Amino acid sequence: MFLVVTFKKILRVDTLSYKTISANKETATKEWVVVDATDQVVGRLGAKVAKLLRGKYKPNFTPHVDCGDNVIIINADKVKFTGNKWNDKVYLSYTGYPGGQREITPARLMAKPNGAEKLMKKVVKGMLPKNRLGAKLLGNLYVYAGSEHKHEAQTPKVIDINTLK
């Protein structure tokens, strides 16, 4: 009878190599980007801008942190809707009083002063989280009806929204 004794060597695992890195306010790399809205469909443009604001195109995306970019939308007055949504689509709001439900179409909203800015903010706001983070992210959106904006000091880079998924 032979007695076989083997010693197992305990291997230590390097725990630093597989930890998920979460971004925080200090490590988030925020950039300034310009998006041209000329002849863009409103809903598709809004969805891509919302993803830019959240930072979903970045490899260090963290859901509970503002790690997205500051987005400048120019030519917001040249957006388009598909079909007859200019007159058929209805945006609802509520004043807080009984019988205070109001409705407005995109055509009537664009006719108001700063209507293009209000329309794009309303569209993007509906695609952001409905919490304090979503309200903070909406503050990183700047919408201008014309092709001029006042953020040249931040040296924003122009991106083609059609190349994003």
pLDDT of residue 55: 95
Q: Got the DSSP string for 107-152? A: HHHHHSTTHHHHHHHHHHHTTS-SSHHHHHHHTTEEE-SSS--S-G
- pLDDT tens digits for range 41-70: 999 999 999 999 999 999 889 999 999 999
Number of H helices, E strands in the chain: 5, 6
Query: What is the secondary structure of 36-96 as a DSSP string?
Result: E-TT-BHHHHHHHHHHHHHTTTSTT--TTS--S-EEEEE-GGG-B-STTHHHH--EEEE-S
pLDDT of res. 52: 97
The least confident of 6-15, 38-47, 93-102, 115-124 is 6-15
Global pTM exceeds 0.95: no
Q: 106-137: per-residue pLDDT in tens?
A: 999 999 999 999 999 999 999 999 999 999 99
32-36 and 70-74 beta bridge pairing: parallel
Report the run of H or E that residue 86 belongs to, with start and end. helix 85-88
Residue 19: pLDDT band (50, 70, 90) is: confident
Estimate the crossing angle of helix 42-54 against helix 115-125, to 10 degrees. Answer: 60
Domain positions in the chain are: 32-80+108-158
Q: What whole-number distance in Å separates Cα of residue 85 and Cα of residue 53?
A: 25
What pLDDT is recorded for position 25? Answer: 87
SS3 state at 92: strand
C-alpha angle with apex 24: 18 to 28, nearest 5 degrees? 100
Beta bridge partners of 158: 34
CATH code of the domain occupying 32-80+108-158 = 3.90.1180.10
Average pLDDT score over residue span 139-154: 95
CA separation for the pair 130, 138 (Å, rounded): 11
